Structure formats: C-alpha cells, structure tokens
Amino acid sequence: MQVSMTVNRRAVTADVEPRMLLVHFLREELGLTGTHIGCETSYCGACTVLVDGRTTKSCTMLAVQADGAEILTVEGLAQDGQLHPVQEGFWERHGLQCGYCTPGMIMSAVGLLQENANPTEDEIRHGIEGNLCRCTGYHNIVRAIEYAAAKMRGEEPPPPEWEHEEVIA
C-alpha cells in the first residue's frame, strides 16, 4: 500500500506492507532511528512520537493509519542548530542516563507542554507516566521538563538543585 505523510516537516511517500508498524516505517524506511523500539506492547513509551500534535506510541499504530498525518520525531525537534527547550532541559538538568527512554520521554514532554505550558510537578509526572525509565528514578526528568516549560514561557529556568545544596567540609 502507498502511504503519504509529513515527517519532521518533510513530505514522504512510500510503499509499505499493510501490517507495518509506524515505528518500523520511521526506523527502517526513513532511517529515523531516534524513535526506539522497546517493548512493542505500548508499555514502555520508548517509541513515542507526535501524530498530528498528539503523543502516540508508534508501536501501536500501523504506518497505513498515519497516511495523511503529520508526524514529529525527536530528530525533528531541533531547528537551525538549536536544541528544542525540552532537549536542552534534558541536557542541562541531567534528565538521562543510558538514554534509551530519552527520545520517547522527550516527545511525551513536548506533547505535555503543548497542552499545558505551566504544569505542576504532579501534572508532569502524570504526563510522562506512560514512559518507563529504568535508570534515573524520574527526578531529573521532571526537573528537565520544568526547565523546558520555563524556557518555553520566556522565563528563566529554575536553578539546578545542586546550586542550593549546602557544602559540608
């Protein structure tokens, strides 16, 4: 079957098997390997992308279902050599360790911040609850999203917590 969609602001058309998952289309046909394959059951969220502005686990969607859609992957976030505020937040607030969950976590955060520009910590935690991280315990991920939210609102991000820690000699 032939599908046409916009991926990272670029029109693409391809022939696909009717049962090909969107995650495999992005990775294998388009070479966009930032979208990770984790569990293939929608549990881990490593494959999260935005489809028509909504967070979607691409392991649960067929490529043919995305025909005509606008897809945004982690590769499409940076513009003109500038990281997206969420990407910057993950860098500045150490929101990653092994990095496997990071692309999906970032895309979930982008989707959250599109819907809620000033989320509370609880709203952030709820917004990323469909994404699993086995390394960080989520603390720095939440701080990274708070950083990004402030940047996107044109505010100065809160200082990192380690600047507030008392040094014991």
Q: Where are the domains of the chain?
A: 2-75, 85-158
State the pLDDT at residue 129: 94
State the pLDDT at residue 160: 87
**Helix/strand number for the chain, H first, E second:** 5, 5
Q: What is the C-alpha separation between 22 and 29, in angstroms, rounded?
A: 10
* R_g of the chain computed on alpha carbons: 17
Q: What is the overall mean pLDDT for the chain?
A: 94
Mean pLDDT in residue range 119-126: 98
pLDDT band, residue 36 (cuts 50/70/90): very high
State the pLDDT at residue 169: 58
Q: What is the C-alpha separation between 58 and 147, in angstroms, rounded?
A: 27
Mean pLDDT in residue range 84-103: 95
Mean pLDDT in residue range 55-59: 97
Mean pLDDT in residue range 28-35: 97
Residue whose C-alpha is closest to residue 152's, from 85, 71, 103: 85
The CATH T-level fold of domain 2-75 is Ubiquitin-like (UB roll) (3.10.20)
Residue 157 pLDDT greater than 90, yes or no: yes
Give the residue, 134 or 70, on which the prediction is more confident.
Answer: 70
85-158 has CATH 3.40.30.10 classification = no
**In this structure, what token pair is assigned to residue 123?**
């709203």
Q: What is the C-alpha separation between 166 and 47, in angstroms, rounded?
A: 39
